[in-house]
């Protein structure tokens, strides 16, 4: 047990944990899409991209954990990407629960064009072919967007905690 405690207390541990969670978010979304035949919508793809951004921010934290400035930058990036992911997932949850007649497509916004471009570059990872209002699959009454909202929100709070702890 003392070895585990020492591992958890290392400066790189929080970033390693967030990196692993980001990998699970991204890999889980791709796996569930393929295994269950779920069609990802543009907002789902943006959430995947946010999890990639979270992994990059955590990677920066792993690399710069010994530096106070580097850790602060990594924490801010983690907060920014996880808050963005939470906002996207929250918007998709709103569409699925409240405004199911609202579609995230129609006249293509800039981000939808970006998702289309990314889907052309890496179809397995970023191909958007579903509707944002369709939860498609639920586990314990929650859609994937709702789980994503919970996880991204928790990671945002964790990033704020890390930043405040560092300042203290």
CATH number at residue 67: 1.20.1550.10
Tell me the whole-structure pTM to 2 decimals: 0.76
Domain presence at residue 119: yes
Do the domain assignments include residue 1?
Answer: no
Please state the domain count of the chain: 1
Residue 25 lies in a domain: yes
Q: Is position 3 within any domain?
A: no
Could you tell me if residue 96 is inside a domain?
A: yes
Profile the chain (168 residues) by mean pLDDT over runs of 10 residues.
Answer: 64 85 86 77 84 90 81 88 91 77 60 65 63 64 82 91 78
Cα–Cα distance between 105 and 90 in angstroms, integer? 17
Tell me, yes or no, whether 8 lies in a domain. Answer: no
pLDDT at residue 85, as a whole number: 92
6 within a domain of the structure (yes/no): no
With respect to residue 2, please indicate whether it lies within any of the assigned structural domains.
no
pLDDT reported for residue 124 = 62
Range(s) of the domain holding residue 118: 14-167
């Amino acid at each position: 047990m003392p070895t585990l405690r020492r591992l958890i207390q290392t400066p790189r541990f929080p970033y390693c944990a967030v990196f692993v969670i980001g990998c699970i978010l991204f890999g889980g979304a791709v796996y569930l899409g393929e295994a269950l035949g779920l069609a990802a919508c543009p907002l789902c793809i943006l959430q995947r991209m946010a999890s990639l951004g979270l992994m990059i921010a955590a990677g920066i934290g792993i690399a710069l954990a010994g530096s106070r400035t580097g850790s602060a930058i990594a924490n801010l990036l983690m907060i920014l990407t996880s808050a963005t992911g939470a906002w996207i997932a929250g918007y998709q949850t709103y569409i699925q629960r409240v405004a199911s007649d609202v579609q995230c497509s129609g006249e293509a916004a800039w981000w939808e064009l970006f998702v289309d471009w990314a889907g052309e570059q890496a179809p397995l990872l970023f191909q958007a072919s579903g509707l944002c209002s369709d939860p498609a699959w639920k586990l314990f009454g929650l859609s994937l967007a709702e789980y994503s909202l919970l996880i991204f929100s928790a990671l945002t709070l964790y990033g704020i905690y890390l930043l405040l702890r560092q300042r203290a």
